[in-house]
Amino acid sequence: SAVISQKPSRDICQRGTSLTIQCQVDSQVTMMFWYRQQPGQSLTLIATANQGSEATYESGFVIDKFPISRPNLTFSTLTVSNMSPEDSSIYLCSSGRGNEQFFGPGTRLTVL
Amino acid sequence: GESVGLHLPTLSVQEGDNSIINCAYSNSASDYFIWYKQESGKGPQFIIDIRSNMDKRQGQRVTVLLNKTVKHLSLQIAATQPGDSAVYFCAESRGNTPLVFGKGTRLSVIA
């Protein structure tokens, strides 16, 4: 299994600001994924980030709101831009080999 | 810490009993299924997986059953322990597509 770390683990932000979340994997992986988990809900895929190409966004998520970087095979960032209280959520990074996906501990974001 | 799954269905089980958590999946073309366990304040943790060419797979104290006819997946936990208390999610995928998660069930173990 892959070991995945995220920074920050939690943050409280003011509306209108942006937060960049970092995800580090302990081995090289082709695909990395970003999920959102709103309070009391399941996980929803935001986008798939492959190294060397633009991220692929799911319906309802756009690059202007959630820009993603994937500079190498072990690292990715997700930015939550122009935040509003509705963006309060847990943001999870995931990666894997084949079908198996492993998750980071999540970043707990509260927007005031 | 803050809990996930505050509004999810809850299954309460006596310690030592067996637990059965059910999941209905949506895509009949899905060929790979995973169960995850998520404890409060943590990311989902892989428990067990199964491919569509199987209908049963066993791990340590856990068994996953797949019924493709009715698109149903279940997770059985034998001799449930307090450490099993968590939210459990099923997830499905087809080919190399990313996982799609089910709604989740909170398992509460009564000591």
Question: What is the reported pLDDT for A39?
Answer: 85
Q: How much is the pLDDT for B5?
A: 45
The values of phi and psi at residue B83, to 5°, are -65, -10
The residue of chain A with its CA nearest to that of B41 is: A105
Nearest chain B residue to A46 by CA distance is B98
Average pLDDT, chain B: 91
Chain A residue whose CA is closest to B104: A42
pLDDT tens, position by position, A40-93: 899 999 999 988 888 999 999 999 999 999 999 999 999 999 999 999 999 999
- Which positions in chain A touch B49 (Cβ < 8 Å)? 99-100
Count of alpha carbons within 13 angstroms of residue A87, beta-carbon side: 23
Q: What is the pLDDT of residues B18-39, one digit of tens each?
A: 999 999 998 899 999 999 999 9
**CA nearest to B99, candidates B42, B19, B62, B44:** B44
Residue A89 CA to residue A40 CA, distance in Å, equals: 10
pLDDT recorded at residue B65: 97
**What pLDDT is stored for residue B7 in this prediction?**
62
CA-to-CA distance for A62 and A12, rounded, in angstroms?
23
pLDDT attached to residue A98: 65
Q: Are A27 and A74 in contact (CB under 8 A)?
A: yes
Per-state percent for chain B, helix, strand, coil, to nearest 5: 5, 50, 45
pLDDT, averaged across chain A: 94
Rounded CA-CA distance B95/B102 in Å is 18
Q: Which residues contact A55 (CB under 8 A, 6 or more apart)?
A: A47, A48, A49, A63, A68, A70
Who contacts B38 (Cβ-Cβ below 8 Å, separation ≥6)? Answer: B4, B5, B44, B45, B86, B87, B88, B89, B104
Does A50 lie at the interface with B, CB-CB under 8 angstroms?
no
B89/A40 touch (CB, cutoff 8 Å), yes or no: no
The pLDDT > 70 percentage for chain B reads: 94
The pLDDT of residue B3 is: 41
Which pLDDT value is given to residue A24?
A: 97
Contact call for A48 and B98, based on CB within 8 A? yes
Using CB atoms, pick whichever of B43, B96, B102 lies closest to residue A42: B102
Instruction: Please give the interface size between A and B, counted as residue pairs whose CB atoms are below 8 Å apart.
Output: 60
Rounded mean pLDDT, B82-103: 91
